[in-house]
Amino acid sequence: MAAAAAPREEQPEDARRPLALPPEKHAAFTGKLLAIASREEGARTAADLYFLRDRLHERCAFFRLWPPQLQAPVLCRLAAARTWVANEVIIGQGSRPGRFYIVVEGSCAVCVREAAAAARGGGGGGVGPSPRQGTSSVDGGGGGGDGGGGRGGGSSGGDGGRGGSRSDRKSSCDSGGCGASALRELAVLGPGDTFGEAALLGIARSPAFVVVRSARASTLSFDAARLAAAITAQSGGAPDPAAAAAAAAAAVAMAASAGGRARSGAWPGQRPRARWSAASR
């Protein structure tokens, strides 16, 4: 009599893949997620925080890697929603990192600044890539960032300072002009992807721009200083800035370690590849 076959082990899935939901339910959940994250922190109920936690579990691999005791009471309490428009700069290259972001809707491009001559082929007669291929002119500096926090009173702070009107803060990503420098696109981030981890790791300057690529995009963002202080306070420590920053860096390192190869601050399209099984859902 042949021995019974051992149960087949399920193949691990890419942790970046969101859990499947009917489109109408996904849209309703997204709207509610953004509405909750647009409220004042004090107006969020425990049910609100756990709703945010469950939705981010479904959508964001990096969120799942954070210690459970930090997810609802800390991350979901501090999350601030914001909607951006096409070509708006969220993070400027060379700016001081201040916030960590999760893409909820739309897409964002990760770009680095290049000399215009180099982007056109080094000035030796070569033809540089067109804007559709990922190069675009930029006349401004490295500004940008989520200076105003979430809609309806989210947390403040930002990456690189924002001056002037919203239209003034847009990059020229769709112009294809020949400005003093150009942007080269390195990667495109979509829903569930994260950026701005440099703010949690104490990196002094952002290594790249993050620019809205779709007609509009929605993000959740987390003020790095407040997140670090909340982590320290929850562990019973004094609100010392250096200790808080170290605690945040340790939390990110723990998440990266748990994920095997989760992205910790590198920008050029390094995506988290943590493995997980269906049993862990």
Beta-carbon contacts of residue 157 (< 8 Å; ≥ 6 apart)? 98, 99, 146, 147, 149, 223, 224, 225, 226
| Amino acid in position 151 | R
Instruction: State the pTM of this model.
Output: 0.65
Is the CATH code 3.40.50.620 the one for domain 23-268? no
Domain extents for the chain? Answer: 23-268
What number of helices (H) and strands (E) belong to the chain?
Answer: 8, 11
Q: What is the pLDDT of residues 228-248, one digit of tens each?
A: 888 888 777 655 555 555 556
pLDDT tens-digit series, residues 23-54:
888 899 999 999 999 999 999 999 999 999 99
Residue 10 CB contacts under 8 Å (≥ 6 apart), including other chains: 277, 278, 279
Q: Has residue 15 got a pLDDT over 80?
A: no
> What pLDDT score does 4 carry?
54
The string of pLDDT tens digits covering residues 106-160 is 999 999 988 765 555 554 433 333 333 333 334 334 445 554 443 333 333 446 4
Question: Which residue in 171, 159, 152, 52 sits closest to 100, CA to CA?
Answer: 159
